[in-house]
Amino acid sequence: MISTGTVASRPPTLIRSWAPDLDTDRLYAILKLRVEVFVVEQAYFYPELDGFDLLPRTRHFWLERDGEVIGTVRLLEENVGGEREFRLGHLCTRRSERGLGHTTRLLQAALADVGEARCRVDSPSYLVEMYTRHGFARDGDERIDNGVPLNPLVRDVRA
């Protein structure tokens, strides 16, 4: 119990699913959160339905509390020049849940799946420092995508 007498919120559960195993309700909840954060809150107008969410080698990670998705990240497995490589994307947390370590927890879970393989992410400028704390480094010049400055980052523990 918290001192106010209210029951503390249960900690969220971390869930991981391959795209083919993801049920429609959960995919809808993930997409809904991404639209709420990126399109509505941040006014980042981009093609949310980009065709990658259902690819067989795509993995979805999310935090859920009481059946509600409160954070998510997508991990794409790619083959680049015969090398296994990954790409992180759509990392977000519901506004009311920020500052509680959820983003770090999601990122750590995805990077555990990446292991020692190379991993890329296009990071908004304000998140570059967070990604660098997880081993990412700049890998090119900042570019503008639909009005948002994005920085290409790579994490390569073999380098």
Neighbour-count burial for 72-108, b at 16+ CB within 10 Å, e otherwise = bbbbbbbeeeeeebbbbbbbbbbeebeebebbebbbe
Residue 82 sits in a domain whose CATH number is: 3.40.630.30
Residue 6 clears pLDDT 70, i.e. is over it: no
Residue 85 domain-assigned (yes or no): yes
Residue 152 resides in a domain: no
Rounded to the nearest 5 percent, the helix, strand and coil shares of the chain are 30, 35, 35
61 is in which domain, residue-wise?
13-116
What is the pTM for the complete model shown?
A: 0.87
43 in a structural domain: yes
Residue 25, in any domain of the structure: yes
Neighbours of 62 (CB within 10 A): 24
Query: What is the arithmetic mean of pLDDT over 8-25?
Result: 90
Q: Is residue 108 part of a domain?
A: yes
Q: How many domains does the chain have?
A: 1
Residue 58: pLDDT above 60?
yes
Per-residue pLDDT tens digits for 17-49: 999 999 999 999 999 999 998 877 777 777 778
